[in-house]
Amino acid sequence: MIGFYTEEENAFREAVASFVEKEIEPISEKIERENDIPHEIYRKMGREGITGVLHPPEYGGTKKGVVYETIVAEEISSVCPALDMSRMASTTLYGMPLNKFGTHEQKKKYLEPIAKGEKLGALGITEPNVGSDTAGMQTSAQKKGDGWVLNGEKRYITNGSNADYIVLFAITDKSVHAKKGMTAFVIETAWKGFKVIKDYELLGMRGVRNTHFALQDMQVPQESVLGGVGKGFTVLMDELNSERTAIAGECVGYARGAFKEAVPYSKERIQFDRPIADFEGVSFKIADMATKVEAARLLTLYAARLCDAGKNATKHASMAKVFAAETAFQVCDQALQVLGGTGYTKEKKVEKFFRDARLMRIGGGTSEILKFLIQREVYKEAGFK
């Protein structure tokens, strides 16, 4: 996009798009069909620098920033949403807390292999009784000797059953509010006490492991504390703006993927002796879809620029995520409508994008919660409490 992305950013997009066409598109149908992502693709992305755009070179990354992360997210998601959901859960949701709050030793051990695509990470927040209200967390960590003992359950955790490492939040002090009594830990799933309860069968995102797991008297060393005891809520909140902005980039990709099928089909499909694109009922849908995709991308870009500049991006990251998620679902829905019965079959990819896009009005912060955050920031800026 001339005037909005730099030459370097556009060149990077072209390189990622080329990688996606060569390495990801050929396996996307297999991932969908077999409900499995081959680990080799993470390593390939790592060798191309795709998994490390947010992280410093000394820890295996390229430190290009959130704008580049949204480019990666959009390009991969325009072909294989499930793969990028898994990649992002590892490199962004898991990786950014380590990037910002980890010690040198933690980053070398637990971030570098993630940035290189050699290992897989996950973020453990959601619980059976805890969703948007993270302050109601029940997973606990009790001090024992030089370390901690963790007990509790987490569910709907992307990469949960196949992750090597998890950034996990637990209550370490029940005598105070969770905002002061929560602590973040880096755990290894190979440690004794980690138990997978089940992987969920999902409406979409086939290939992704979405997991309910338990921690049963898991002994964790003091060195696993991330960001300091009682600082977990700070770690959790800090990660959200980059996460929401990156998810917005994914949503642009979903919309693009569906739109890409709708446009040529509208010209190829003949009814009443002419292409259905000749009818305003179809062509106006194309116009609406094109406009919404561009608007979502620009809002996402602005939020990413704020993140990269170290500015408060709460309002714009929330706006980008809400708008892009709603846009993705609307565009996929309209694209399916343009394709008609063909769109409802698995002969086209529109139905996959439709199913995958629906998740993003829930995951990464529901649209309702984000609208609450947006209005709160608006009133705050206007001088109201």
Q: Which residues are catalytic?
A: 243
Residues in CB range of 355: below 8 A, 6 or more apart = 203, 204, 205
Dist CA 385 CA 260 (whole Å) = 45
Q: Which of 193, 190, 151 is nearest to 171 (CA)?
A: 151
Which amino acid would we find at residue 268? E
Alpha-carbon distance values, 103 to 130, 140, 237 (Å): 29, 23, 19
Residues in CB range of 260: below 8 A, 6 or more apart = 78
Which amino acid would we find at residue 327? T
Q: What is the dihedral of CA 64, 4, 365, 376, to 10 degrees?
A: 120
Ranges assigned E (strand) in 243-375: 270-271, 274-275
Q: Which of 367, 258, 304 is nearest to 73 (CA)?
A: 304
Dist CA 133 CA 223 (whole Å) = 28
Dist CA 318 CA 331 (whole Å) = 20
Beta partners for residue 212, in sequence order:
198
Give the 3-state secondary structure of 252-266.
HHHHHHHHHHHHHHH
CB atoms within 10 A of CB 248: 33
Alpha-carbon distance values, 331 to 321, 358, 369 (Å): 15, 11, 22
CB atoms within 10 A of CB 380: 12
**CA-based radius of gyration for the chain:** 21
Which amino acid would we find at residue 309? A
Residues 99, 100, 104, 109, CA torsion sign: negative
